[in-house]
């Protein structure tokens, strides 16, 4: 029955709407926002290559609610029916966008300018879209300058969500749901197979690692993965490098003997002495080249020429000389290092993992490994819906991954 609500809009969407559960998500979102919907047209795609097509009339009681509802439907690929250009306004103050600027998602986005649809470059969430000549590009608010032309409102915008693969390719072995009951061995084998394929075609694999890698006995396995050429970028914080150096110099992590599993007298000082030793050498690279550090993740990364960036935080001890203490600079370096990534593996670091997730476009697959399922859930809840969760011990995961990659 047609809705009697006075404020209406017609939106359309196309893609694998049924397989990817986008159709039900659209309907659910309208109902959650207190609106009504009427399906005006629906055409079901009948083959793997065919898209389904939907035309939907949505209704609300007031214009403000309708605008919010239409905006909420954009991440599902809905766009207003019609061929209007995007509204573009000019920035009048550095670091500030016009009040009605469009805040981007991490999904593929197109903007209609001058009668032509243009793909948005440098796609990421929580950014403004700036028009530069015939190019549209995502830019963080702090990067905006007076005179920049920023997309505003919702007209002339299309979002293309990532669709579930009907063919079930290697990396679609799991949905983005989190479960600790999956067989870890099977999942790790498929991750390894994906990594091999990426390496074979000259792709780029990024690891985001926390100090739990050291604490759980994963150093030797991670080092082996680095030696085999499967780590192209390493993103971490001060703690990973500090405890990696502590293990190399004192055989402990957080003052605990990893072989015996017992605290060492005076061990609580070891990480500080390790940081001091590296800083006396001048840097991690210098510590490796002068023989101060002879083993560990950072040693293998330096030897293999792996690009690494250590982002500092308010809780850092030391920190190690290589740590980037300016937060904005750390974000920029992380973002640049993630450009062109084909796969990201997050190893038990919620802080850096969520930060990286915010910088990635939705089509880059992310594997998040953590013993705590809440960490994986939080990363997905923050908008990184491409995240695949493996709830397991990080040391065990690295052991199995290194074994599969050595076969």
Confirm if 358 and 384 have CB atoms less than 8 A apart: yes
DSSP bridge partners of 7? 60
| pLDDT for 173 beyond 50 | no
Residue 90 has pLDDT above 50, yes or no: yes
- Give pLDDT tens digits for 222-258: 999 999 999 999 999 999 999 999 999 999 999 999 8
Secondary structure E strands in 21-147: 36-43, 52-60, 79-80, 87-90, 108-113, 116-121, 128-132, 135-139
Domains of the chain: 1-80 (3.30.70.2690), 83-164 (2.40.420.10), 170-406 (3.40.50.10690)
Tell me the per-residue pLDDT of 356-407, one tens digit each, with 9 for 90 and over.
999 999 899 999 999 988 887 877 766 556 788 888 999 999 999 999 999 7
For the beta carbon of residue 53, count every other beta carbon within 10 angstroms: 15
Q: At 52, is the pLDDT very low, low, confident or very high (cuts 50, 70, 90)? A: very high
| Selection from 215, 267, 273, 269 nearest residue 244 by Cα | 215
Rounded to 5 degrees, what are φ and ψ at 160? -110, 100
pLDDT score, position 1: 53
Residue 206 · residue 341 · CB < 8 Å: yes
Buried b (16+ CB within 10 A) or exposed e, 244-265: bbbbbbbebbbbbebeeeeeee
The pair of structure tokens assigned to 266 is 């005076």
- Segment 121-136 mean pLDDT: 95
> Using CA atoms, how far apart are residues 127 and 141, in angstroms rounded to an integer?
7
């Amino acid at each position: 029955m047609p809705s009697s609500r006075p404020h209406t809009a017609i939106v359309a969407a196309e893609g694998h709407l049924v397989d990817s559960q986008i159709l039900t998500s659209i309907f659910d979102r309208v109902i959650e926002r207190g609106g009504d919907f009427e399906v005006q047209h629906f055409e079901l795609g009948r083959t793997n290559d065919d898209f389904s097509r939907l035309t939907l009339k949505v209704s609300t009681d007031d214009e403000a609610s309708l605008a919010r509802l239409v905006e909420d439907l954009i991440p599902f690929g809905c766009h207003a029916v019609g061929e209007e250009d995007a509204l573009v306004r000019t920035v009048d103050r550095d670091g500030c966008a016009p009040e009605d600027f469009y805040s981007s998602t991490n999904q593929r986005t197109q903007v209609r300018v001058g009668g032509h649809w243009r793909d948005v470059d440098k796609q990421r969430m929580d950014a403004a879209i700036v028009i530069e000549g015939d190019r549209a590009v995502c830019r963080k608010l702090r990067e905006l300058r007076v005179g920049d032309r920023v997309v505003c409102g919702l007209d002339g915008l299309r979002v293309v969500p990532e669709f579930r693969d009907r063919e079930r390719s290697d990396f679609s072995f799991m949905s983005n749901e989190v479960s600790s009951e999956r067989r870890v061995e099977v999942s790790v084998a498929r991750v390894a197979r994906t990594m091999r394929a990426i390496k074979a075609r000259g792709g780029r694999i990024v690891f985001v690692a926390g100090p739990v890698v050291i604490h759980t006995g994963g150093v030797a396995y991670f080092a082996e993965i680095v030696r085999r050429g499967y780590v192209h970028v390493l993103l971490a914080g001060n703690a990973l490098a500090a405890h990696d150096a502590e293990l190399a110099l004192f055989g402990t992590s957080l003052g605990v003997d990893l072989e015996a599993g017992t605290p060492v007298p005076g061990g609580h000082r070891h990480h500080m002495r390790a940081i001091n030793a590296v800083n006396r050498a001048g840097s991690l690279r210098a510590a490796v080249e002068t023989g101060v550090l002879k083993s560990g993740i950072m040693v293998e990364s330096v030897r293999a020429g792996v690009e690494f960036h250590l982002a500092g935080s308010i809780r850092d001890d030391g920190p190690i000389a290589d740590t980037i203490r300016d937060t904005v600079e750390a974000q920029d370096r992380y973002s640049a290092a993630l450009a062109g990534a084909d796969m990201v593996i997050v190893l038990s670091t919620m802080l850096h993992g969520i930060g990286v997730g915010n910088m990635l476009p939705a089509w880059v697959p992310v594997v998040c490994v953590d013993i705590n399922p809440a960490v994986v859930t939080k990363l997905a809840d923050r908008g990184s819906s491409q995240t695949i969760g493996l709830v397991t011990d990080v040391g065990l995961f690295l052991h199995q991954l290194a074994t599969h990659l050595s076969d």
